[in-house]
């Protein structure tokens, strides 16, 4: 009886091992124009500081550095921005990003959401963070939401905490205050 069970087990094991279904490894598709990155990193956390003061923390699912082209590409981006006292002032998320090596300017691309510590929310398709001035801007369509109002329009510029902002071509505005 035990001999029959062992033979049956070995027969089943052989059948399973001879399956046509192959396990394929996950492939990362590269854009041929970009070439092969000089560095790659997954599930990364990068801390930005200036003179010992915390300025921002970047989280990314996948980072590709292209030293010859002087930029870095990011997938799955989240950035926490901090003020002079080290308090978090805003968070920005996007599906993709790009950082220029020379200027350290960052482009947030696709499904960009920026939320300030006061609850003000910015929604857009593309946003540029200018490192030198610590400002964010875009010429794309934007929506600003907070507890009091909703504003939509084209063209936007703000400090990185979303406290002082300008929408250049307002297309819609409504008061959300409850009376």
| Angle at alpha carbon of residue 112, lines to 106 and 118, rounded to 5° | 95
Q: Which of these, 12, 134, 119, lies nearest to 81 by C-alpha position?
A: 134
What residues contact 19, with CB distance under 8 A and at least 6 apart? none
Q: Which of these, 73, 72, 91, lies nearest to 81 by C-alpha position?
A: 91
Q: Label the pairing between strands 39-50 and 149-159.
A: unpaired
Please tell me what DSSP assigns to residue 6: H
Q: How far apart are CA 53 and CA 86, in angstroms?
A: 7
| Angle at alpha carbon of residue 149, lines to 116 and 134, rounded to 5° | 30
Give, for all 179 residues of the chain, the pLDDT tens digit. 777 777 766 666 565 655 556 656 555 566 666 788 999 999 999 888 888 888 889 999 999 999 999 999 999 999 998 888 889 999 999 999 999 999 989 999 999 999 999 889 999 999 998 988 889 999 999 999 988 899 999 999 998 888 899 999 999 999 887 64
Domains and CATH numbers, the chain: 37-175 (2.60.450.10)
Per-position DSSP letters for 31-43, written without gaps between them? -TTT---SEEEEE
């Amino acid at each position: 009886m035990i001999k029959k069970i062992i033979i049956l087990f070995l027969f089943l094991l052989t059948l399973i091992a001879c399956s046509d279904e192959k396990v394929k490894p996950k492939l990362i598709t590269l854009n041929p124009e970009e070439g092969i990155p000089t560095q790659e990193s997954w599930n990364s956390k990068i801390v930005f500081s200036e003179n010992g003061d915390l300025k921002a923390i970047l989280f990314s699912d996948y980072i590709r550095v292209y030293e010859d082209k002087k930029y870095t590409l990011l997938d799955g981006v989240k950035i926490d921005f901090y003020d002079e006292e080290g308090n978090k002032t805003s968070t920005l998320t996007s599906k993709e990003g790009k950082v220029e090596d020379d200027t350290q300017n960052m482009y947030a691309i696709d499904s960009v959401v920026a939320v300030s510590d006061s609850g003000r929310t910015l929604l857009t398709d593309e946003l540029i963070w200018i490192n030198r001035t610590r400002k964010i801007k875009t010429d794309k369509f934007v929506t600003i939401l907070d507890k009091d109002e909703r504003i939509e329009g084209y063209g936007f510029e703000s400090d990185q905490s979303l406290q002082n902002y300008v929408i250049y071509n307002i297309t819609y505005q409504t008061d959300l205050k409850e009376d």
